[in-house]
């Protein structure tokens, strides 16, 4: 995938990794609009026709909402 290309939909493996990160409190790295966000995902939900997730920033404690259809890249950070 080219940098800047938005994922149309997460794969089954990506959903499983995201759900595992939520369940076990693991950090993820998400690239959206050229910016990388690293944090702990707290929940995954639907808003209308779109799916979103909340990520807790580990330093500031701020909750960041990211819509899955805006993601360019997502991965679980190794422990």
Overall average pLDDT of the 8-24 stretch:
90
Beta bridge partners of 24: none
pTM of the model: 0.81
- How high does pLDDT run on average in the chain? 88
Mean pLDDT of 34-40: 94
pLDDT at 1: 39
Coil, helix or strand for 58?
coil
Q: Are 20 and 77 in contact (CB under 8 A)?
A: no
Average pLDDT on 1-23 reads 78
| Residue 62, pLDDT score | 95
Length of the chain equals 79
Region 52-74: mean pLDDT is: 93
Structural domains present in the chain: 12-76 (2.30.30.100)
């Amino acid at each position: 995938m080219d940098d800047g290309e938005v994922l149309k939909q997460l794969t089954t493996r990506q959903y499983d990794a995201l759900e595992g990160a939520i369940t076990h409190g693991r950090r993820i790295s998400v690239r959206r609009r050229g910016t990388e966000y690293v944090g702990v995902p707290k929940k995954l939900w639907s808003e209308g026709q779109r799916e979103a997730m909340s990520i807790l920033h580990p330093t500031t404690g701020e909750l960041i909402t990211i819509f899955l259809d805006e993601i360019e890249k997502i991965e679980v950070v190794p422990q």
